[in-house]
Structure 1
Amino acid sequence: MRVLLIVFVLCFTNLIFSQDYKFGKVSKEELKETVCSLDSTANAAYLYKYRRSYYVYIKDEGFVLKTDIHERIKIYNQDGFDYATKQIRLYQGGSGEEKISNLKAYTYNIEKNKVLAEKLSKDGIFKSEASKYSNKVKFTMPNIKPGSVIEYKYQITSPYWSNVDEFIFQYDIPIKKLEAEFDVPEYYNFKVNTKGFLSVAPTVESKTDVIRFVDKARSLAGGGYNGAVTTSFNSSEITYYTQINKYNLTDIPALKEEPFVNSINNYRASAKYELSYTKFPNSTVKTYSTTWEDVVDRVYKSSSFGDELKRTGYFQNDIDALVGSVSGAEEKMMMIFDYVKSQVKWNGYYGFYADDVKKAYKNHAGSSGDINLMLTAMLRYAGLNANPVLVSTRTHGVPLFPTREGYNYVVSWVKLPDGTEVLLDGTDKYSVPNILPLRALNWQGRIVAENGGYGVIDLYPKSLSENNVIMMAKIDEEGALEGSYRSIKTNHRALSFRNSYNEADKDDYLEKLENRYNGIEISDYNVKNDTDLSKPIQESYKFNKESQVDIIGDKMYFSPLFHLRTKENPFKLEKREFPVDFGYPSVTSYRVILNIPEGYKIESTPESVALALPDNLGSFSYMVKGSGRNIQIMVETQINESIISPIYYEVLKEYFNSFIQKEAEQVVLNKKQI
């Protein structure tokens, strides 16, 4: 009897605390929760996340893809208010457009121990065009407070039955309960690709479904036009089975952004269902992209890709006039590259297909597909060995599996007669050969040769991007610092500088620069070669700043790099699963020549040191020399690889700690006793 009582109590307790995920059944316990049980630092959490994608047969249309969404989110504090805004992308194209329906949304709060629900009004739902190929539906939940719970559900109907959105199982906030389902009729065969560090696998079931056809026919009884009308119905049905893939996960940790990650989406737990082939009754098997060769072949055969590379009539006269008298291949390449950058401005749209290259050329604006396919076509017309390169931008992620969706960008590749390979991107007017914009530096690109052949090419640069700084300064008796600064920047450092400086309001730029160094006063600011891309950037200015030295009694204490030193280690996690992506190899060197105040002598300086990462991944050198009233400091930090494997994370973290501590060490001056 006692055992039965214990079992009853346990079952009753479980019933009390079991969660009801039915829409609208938000509990007082959920509303009263002040801290996420999975992560005390979370500003919000998914209490429940549900998605079901499945196929429905519609007469005269065939199968359409439907997706049901239901999400319940707890907002713990004001920093979590961003999760009260939802944006939904709806694709549109030649086969029609995706549509949203059955949208219901409520905000729940608790007042005087009662649950109050406020409905999202229709006036709070906005639809807009996100791009040529998609619309956006956006809404923000009403009456949001710290502690609120929001809940919404909707359905998306898509004519694009072959394109199933990725099932994502991990977000930047924790998930307490996730259920996902994908139901596939036997006529479709999908392969599933998974990624991420969570162990995720579906349970697979099957069921039988039926499609019923009803044909209605009318006839005239007795013949002639005056006979009575009779209606007959003929029905038939097809039975087929559906495979059901179910995911049921609990207590999923947040996947948080970390420094030096090309795209956090590369490491997010997910499952992507890629259509392999279809086989309908009384028809042959139709295959879809299953290998990279298939993907490239289908891209090349598209009228918006391969055909655009063959169009030359709109630019022939201009290119003939531009390079007609030039014989050198490299010179031709540079002239055409500069010409495209000056003639056609990037409109900000990504893509590897062209919208209309002739129109882009005429209107002096186009997408990345327009500009770089145009560039490739011009280079070929001039007799150069040029091909487009499919690229996935850093925010888009690494294309791990063969799919056209793996790429969202294109650049141009040229092989010069001497064997030199060059990558070009005409979307950035400050880009130079083999110095692609940072957005395009992401693993490997796929060269699309004529007739659909392909090869791969490393997108990361091999040459170092340099920032060489010379600073001459003096300290006065009050501890103020005054001097001059000069830097020379090359390659990606120069590209980054030109984009931030040339496109900015100069007063705003200087104000931000002064604020970056905690209120330093800058004068005589000057930049050379800001538009001459053949030369490195030269930046110079004069500066002064008070209270840069700690004066205690007869002694002065200061870090000899002052405001130039690195103060914080970007790597804070104990363990990291992801590679560290610096984007490009780089070196930063500082040479500081410092005069100390009259009446002081050098008591001590930091010891010189040299550090090295394993396998020649990077190095750090630090040297301080003092003589009389003059101190010289020479510091160099170098990273030799664009990407560093996570197996080196601990040593990389310690390396940063070591050189940050070294740069913080102080010079000590002692006032001479007379």
Structure 2
Amino acid sequence: MKNLLIALFTILCFSVANAQNFSFDYGKVSKADIDLKEYDKDKTAEAVVIYDKGSSYFRQNINSGFDLIFERSKRIKILKEAGIEYAEIEIPFYREGNIYEKIYDLKACTYNFEDGRLNRTELQADSWNDEIYNDYWMVRKIAMPNVKAGSIIEFTYKISSQYVFNLRDWEFQSKIPTIYSEYTAAMIPFYEYIYLAQRTGTSLKKESYTDKSSHEFARIEYKDVINKFLMRDIPAFNSEDYITSINDYIIKLDFQLAKINYPNGGDKEIMTTWPNLIKEYSDHPNFGKYVKKCEKSASKIIDLDALKDKTTKDKFDYIVSYVKNNYSWNEYNGKYSSKSVNDILKDKYGNAADLNLLTIGLLRAAGIEATPVLISTRENGKVSDNYPFAHYFNYVILMANIDGKNVLSDATNSNVANNRIPSRCINDKGLIINPDQDVKWIGLQCKFPSISALDFTIDPAKETSNVMVRSFASEYKAFRLKSIIGDDKNKLDDYLEERDYKIDRADFSEISDKSKEFRYEYDLTMTPELINEKLYIKPFLNKSLQDNPLNQPSRSYPIDMTYPTKSILTSNIIIPEGYELDYQPENYKIKNNLFELNYSVEQIEDRIRVILLTDFKESVYDASDYSKIQFYFNEIVKRGNEKIVLKKI
């Protein structure tokens, strides 16, 4: 990857000087911190990180081993009311089963300069919440006290971990600018790490040196090798719509345990190869061996004899639907099963790996070639196939061979068609876990357009206008609506009331293909816009795009729309008696290999038909196409909000 640099620790020197006399030490607030009212390098900033300092080092424990200690201190100046959200702190910590990393020495406070005095409000002990993020990570959430525009907040904490593979990564960049960011990693000879530097460019300063103090472990004397990384004046990451995860694009360091050197002279390579990684997953008791157990238990779960005469596709649909309808996803991602086969059969719920690995076992028992595919969800970021890092992956889906064609599937959501994966899983590529073949990846991109269509019939009058609306959605647009509404009439009413005018009637329309379509219709009334005896009518009401989602002057990362999208808005406006057409917008077209827009207006007897068709033909656009895509959105906003004007005869 051109924006990633892989390197071993190198010896470089840098100097540390506190620009503008800001204090970079916890508990020591400077006059510059207090006087900061606006960040001169980004006057729009709602808050700014004054300093963010972290360090990782090893400490011998009572079990004749090492704990990995991580320390962090951070200070943020809240510049505007909107910046108060950055006073909500999250501290992630790892667990396996009931063995947790330990957070300790946690301190935090808020400073407010009032009436010529600096008032300090301490965070009260235990005034936080620990929440489960997934099967392996917890998050400690802290709401800082007494925060307002002008406040300074800071916090410090330590984490003790027995998981030496979990050397903390370091993010220099966030959604607000950072004045000073420093990370120190003290290495010992028993563990070797490599790191990936993402988008650091030439601004990253590095220094490595050997500490003067000596230590002894297993009768071996050693000294820490100190590695410092420093950056200044890091701009805010300006995130906008159509992005996978900011983790793919922010300035950061990722660390990976590469090798363990044992005191007795032996060693263990942790930095593996893709073939070895595939084999490790295939032999893992909560992955490959779990699939085999599910396959052996299949006859207790489904009637395999009843499937013998079915086609491969029918078997596939039956088994995937069976798991979706009989087992619930607990909304935790996962690449390993979290419970035994007996427990998943008894409990009827589990994480994504529990359900998908179970499905693979059932498919294999029915004679269908099925394989796990390791992926990283959109929120988790993209996988680099240059570096065989297991921590890239956080999810497993399945691939089945249906009549010679590979079909990707996922058993966590009954609202998604069996031959589709949830949109959260559409993220570049996945690794096929098959030890009997060469390393292979499969693209996760969706080539099928998701269509949304709205058909309006507007009968305008002076007092009220009656409108009938018919809605159609397919593919991922339909899957989303099914998840929100399902077949619940009350939920449909609530959904429309939140988004529309006064709804008079709403109901579901007949659906021809329930797996990939969603249809509904409703009636509404609205007060027309009447000025000087002229009726101004928006053909698509407020259902067309109102604002351009792309508002940056430029962009250095792709525009990822997840899947191709096509929208068709059609409006039939009945010309009321005593009125005639006074103004109609001009027809307009754009058509190329990236995008299509077709806007047309025509009068047919006593009706005016307006059609706006838009078609984004790709799921992902290169950053070099940003200005084009931005222009296309501008045109959608412009054409979709044009008005038809009727005047009295």
The reply to whether TM is greater than 0.5 is yes
**2:531 equivalent in structure 1:** 551
TM-score, normalised via structure 1 length: 0.87
Distance 2:583 2:246 in 1: 46
1:403-414 → structure 2 map (5 Å cutoff): 403-414=389-400
Residues 136, 664 of structure 1: alpha-carbon distance in 2 compared, 3 angstrom cutoff = closer
Structure 1 residue 199: Cα displacement: 4.2
Q: 1:295 to 1:625 in 2, by over 3 A?
A: same
Match of 1:446 in 2: 431
Offset from partner CA, 1:483-531 (integer Å, 9 cap, x none) = 311122211111111001128x7546434423423xx122331114679
Using the TM superposition, give the Cα deviation of residue 283 of structure 1 relative to its aligned residue in structure 2, in angstroms: 2.0
One-letter amino acid matched to 2:497: E
Written as runs of structure 1 = structure 2, the 5 A alignment for 1:583-622 is: 583-613=562-592, 616-622=593-599
**SS of 2:158 mapped into structure 1:** strand
Q: Which segment drifts farther, 575-584 or 454-463?
A: 454-463
- Give the Cα separation in 2 of the matches to 1:263 and 1:298: 28
Aligned to 1:564: 543
Aligned pair in 2 of structure 1 residues 397, 530: CA closer, same or farther (>3 Å)?
farther
Q: Does 1:116 align with 2:151?
A: no
Q: Residue by residue, what CA displacement relative to the aligned partner does 1:270-293 show, whole Å, maximum 9, x if unpaired?
A: 111112222234323311134333
CA distance in 1, matches of 2:563, 2:90: 33
Instruction: Give the deviation of 1:128 after TM superposition.
Output: 5.4
Distance 1:669 1:99 in 2: 70
Deviation at 1:97, TM superposition (A): 2.7
Mapped contact 2:183–2:229 kept (Cα < 8 A): yes
Contact residue 196 and residue 266 of structure 1 kept, 8 A: no
The answer to whether the aligner puts 1:669 opposite 2:646 as a matched pair is yes
2:360 maps to 1:360: no
* Counterpart in the other structure of 1:3: none
Q: Which residue of 2 aligns with 1:315?
A: 298
Structure possessing the higher radius of gyration over alpha carbons: 1
CA distance in 1, matches of 2:118, 2:63: 46
Alpha-carbon distance between aligned partners in 1 of 2:545 and 2:97, rounded to the nearest angstrom = 53
Report the CA distance between 1:602 and its aligned residue: 1.9
Contact 1:471 1:483 in 2 (8 A): yes
Distance in 1 between the 2:456 and 2:380 partners?
40
Q: Which amino acid aligns with 1:242?
A: D
Task: Give the deviation of 1:202 after TM superposition.
Answer: 4.4
> Distance between the aligned counterparts of 1:415 and 1:667, measured in 2?
53
Query: Do residues 333 (structure 1) and 339 (structure 2) align?
Result: no
Q: Paired residue for 2:472?
A: 488
Number of the residue aligned with 1:581: 560
1:424-457 alpha-carbon deviations (Å, 9 max, x no partner): 1110011113322111111111111255864211
| Contact in 2 for aligned 1:390/1:411 (Cα 8 Å) | yes
Q: 1:391 aligns with which of 347, 365, 375?
A: 375
Give the Cα separation in 1 of the matches to 2:87 and 2:564.
40
CA contact (8 A) 1:261 1:580 kept: yes
Gaps (5+ residues) in structure 1?
1-13, 214-235
Deviation larger for 538-547 or 87-96? 87-96
Label 1:500 to 1:58 Cα distance change in 2 as closer, same or farther (>3 A).
Answer: same
Residues 105-158 of structure 1 show CA distances to partners (whole Å, capped at 9, x for unaligned) of: 222222332222232222424445555434443333333232221222121111
In structure 2, the CA distance between the partners of 1:659 and 1:528, relative to structure 1 (3 Å rule), is closer
Aligned equivalents of 1:96 and 1:210: distance in 2?
31
- Alpha-carbon distance in structure 1 between the residues aligned to 2:101 and 2:227: 23
Corresponding residue for residue 10 of structure 1: none
Percent identical across equivalent pairs?
29
Change (3 A) 1:565 1:106: closer
Is this contact kept in 2: 1:107–1:151, CA < 8 A? Answer: yes
Shift of 1:17: 4.9
Partner of 2:603 in structure 1?
Answer: 626
Distance in 2, matches of 1:561 and 1:136, equals: 44
1:211/1:170 Cα in 2 relative to 1: closer, same or farther (>3 Å)? Answer: same
Contact 2:450 2:563 in 1 (8 A): yes
Shift in alpha-carbon separation, 1:329–1:476, aligned structure 2, 3 A: same
Distance, in Å, in 2 between the alignment partners of 1:186 and 1:572 is: 49
Structure 2 CA distance, aligned partners of 1:452 and 1:82? 49
| Distance across 2 between alignment mates of 1:143 and 1:488 | 49
- The verdict on how the C-alpha distance between 1:531 and 1:297 changes in structure 2, with shifts beyond 3 A counting, is farther
Partner of 2:248: 266
2:616 corresponds to: 639
Shift of 1:567: 1.9
Aligned mates of 1:15, 1:467 — CA distance in 2: 55
Query: What letter corresponds to residue 285 of structure 1 in structure 2?
Result: D
Deviates more, 1:489-498 or 1:100-109: 100-109
Map of 1:104 onto structure 2: 107
Counterparts in 2 of 1:361-510, with a 5 A limit?
A: 361-400=345-384, 401-417=387-403, 419-450=404-435, 454-478=439-463, 480-502=464-486, 506-507=489-490, 509-510=492-493
- 1:601-636 deviation digits (Å, cap 9, x = unpaired): 2233222121124xx121110111113321112221
How many residue pairs match? The answer is 628
**Separation in 2 of the partners of 1:460 and 1:552?**
53
Matches within 5 A, 1:237-248: 238-248=220-230
Check the 8 A contact 1:210/1:237 in 2, yes or no: no
Counterpart of 1:351, as a letter, is: G
Is the Cα contact below 8 Å between 1:105 and 1:120 reproduced in 2? yes
Q: 1:529 to 1:369 in 2, by over 3 A?
A: farther
* 1:299 match: 281
Task: Note the C-alpha offset of 1:538.
Answer: 1.8
Output aligned runs, 1:155-304, within 5 Å. Answer: 155-196=158-199, 199-208=202-211, 209-212=213-216, 238-304=220-286
Query: Is the Cα contact below 8 Å between 1:605 and 1:626 reproduced in 2?
Result: no
Local SS of the residue matching 2:624: helix
Shift of 1:22: 2.3
Secondary structure of 2:303's partner?
A: helix
Q: Equivalents in 2 of 1:664, 1:558: separation in Å? A: 10
Contact 1:206 1:241 in 2 (8 A): no
5 Å-filtered alignment, 1:23-172, equals 23-58=26-61, 60-93=63-96, 96-127=99-130, 130-172=133-175
CA contact (8 A) 2:204 2:230 kept: no
Q: TM-score scaled by structure 2?
A: 0.91
| Contact 2:205/2:231 (8 A) holds in 1 | no
Letter in 2 for 1:536: E
Q: Secondary structure, in 3 states, of the residue corresponding to 2:215?
A: strand
Code of the aligned partner of 1:154 = Y
2:145 maps to a residue whose letter is P
The answer to whether the 8 A contact 1:180-1:246 is kept is: yes
